[in-house]
């Protein structure tokens, strides 16, 4: 079974992935999630493209109302409001800026396809939504009195990174390291992704009183993803030595 999986993976990766070059939809859930996030962002006030939302202060007010309506507001989440209980799910499809959206979608595109192929479509979809919901819930619980809205798919994508690390620890990832003048260097996933976790942990420890960037949601999601892969697949089902080209993206919330 592992041999067959290795063969399938090699056929899908190539320079940017064989399936991506030929246009085959080998990871439809991943591509559907990316498409949904992009389309919802384009029609939202966050993109700033729809003249119906106005400009200047009017646009800013529309953005704040949009984030509060569909994002997680920790102080309201644990109230007796059925609508608030759904916000950790809706917030996964809302992004605050172009950089926020593109950074998250880059990570999902790079790491989501292979993880989805390993898990299967339905299981990956439930994994993504469930871990994303729990990551935002954990962040809200740690900032229960905050009135600041939280949006973004980072918790779910961090879970994908955690699962990817367990399933493909030796996959070689091309990373852009700022302290090396953004030179593209290739490292195994077991080096790149734990380093990313360390950055999140360090940033979370230095965060101020406000929620700011949801580093805690990143850490919760990553831990959930790794734990799920470990429980579901076990150490004997790892896929080792799989080459994959993967540019490093933004670690936005």
pLDDT value at residue 23: 41
Kindly report the length of the chain. Answer: 253
CB 61 within 8 A of CB 53: no
* Assigned token pair, 232: 């579901």
**pLDDT confidence of residue 43:** 94
Backbone φ and ψ of 185, nearest 5°: -125, 145
CA distance 40 to 28: 18
Instruction: Please report the pLDDT score of residue 76 as a whole number.
Output: 87
Q: Could you tell me if 159 and 240 are in contact, meaning their C-beta atoms sit under 8 angstroms apart?
A: no
DSSP state of 250: -
Residue 237 is predicted with a pLDDT of: 54
Q: Domain coordinates of the chain in residue numbers? A: 2-237
CA distance 165 to 111: 10
Structure confidence at residue 81 (pLDDT): 73
Distances (CA, A) of 27 to 105, 142, 162, 169: 14, 34, 18, 20
Q: Does domain 2-237 have CATH number 1.20.1540.10?
A: yes
What distance in Å separates the CA atoms of residue 103 and residue 166, rounded to the nearest whole number? 22
CA-based end-to-end distance of the chain: 37
* pTM recorded for the entire structure: 0.75
If 0-12 CB within 10 Å is exposed, 13-18 middle and 19+ buried, where does residue 181 land? exposed
| 37 and 88 Cβ atoms separated by less than 8 Å | no
Greatest CA separation for the chain? 58
Q: Which residue ranges in the chain fall short of pLDDT 50?
A: 1-24, 176-185, 187, 203-212, 240-253
- The span from the CA of 115 to the CA of 12, in Å, is 12
Backbone angles phi, psi at 231, to 5 degrees: -70, -45
Q: How many CB atoms lie under 10 A from the CB of residue 199? A: 13
- Kindly report, residue by residue over 58-103, the tens digit of the pLDDT: 999 999 999 989 999 888 887 767 778 899 999 999 988 888 888 8
226 in Cβ contact with 163 (< 8 Å): yes
pLDDT, residue 104, reads: 85
What does the pLDDT read at residue 28?
A: 95
């Amino acid at each position: 079974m592992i041999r067959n999986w290795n063969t399938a993976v090699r056929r899908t990766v190539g320079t940017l992935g064989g399936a991506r070059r030929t246009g085959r939809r080998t990871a439809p859930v991943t591509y559907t999630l990316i498409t949904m996030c992009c389309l919802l962002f384009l029609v939202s006030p966050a993109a700033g493209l729809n003249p119906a939302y106005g400009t200047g202060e009017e646009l800013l007010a529309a953005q704040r109302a949009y984030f509060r309506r569909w994002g997680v507001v920790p102080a309201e989440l644990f109230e007796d409001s059925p609508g608030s209980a759904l916000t950790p799910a809706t917030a996964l499809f809302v992004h605050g800026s172009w950089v926020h959206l593109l950074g998250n979608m880059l990570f999902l595109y790079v790491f989501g396809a292979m993880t989805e192929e390993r898990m299967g479509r339905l299981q990956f979809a439930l994994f993504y939504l469930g871990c994303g919901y729990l990551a935002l819930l954990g962040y809200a619980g740690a900032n229960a009195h905050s009135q600041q809205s939280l949006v973004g798919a980072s918790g779910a994508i961090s879970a994908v990174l955690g699962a990817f690390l367990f399933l493909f620890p030796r996959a070689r990832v091309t990373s852009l390291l700022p302290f090396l003048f953004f030179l593209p260097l290739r490292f195994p996933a077991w080096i790149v992704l734990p380093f990313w976790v360390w950055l999140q942990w360090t940033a979370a420890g230095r965060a101020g009183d406000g929620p700011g960037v949801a580093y805690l949601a990143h850490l919760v999601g990553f831990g959930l993803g790794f734990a799920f892969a470990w429980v579901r697949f076990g150490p004997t089902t790892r896929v080792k030595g799989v080459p994959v080209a993967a540019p490093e993206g933004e670690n936005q919330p």
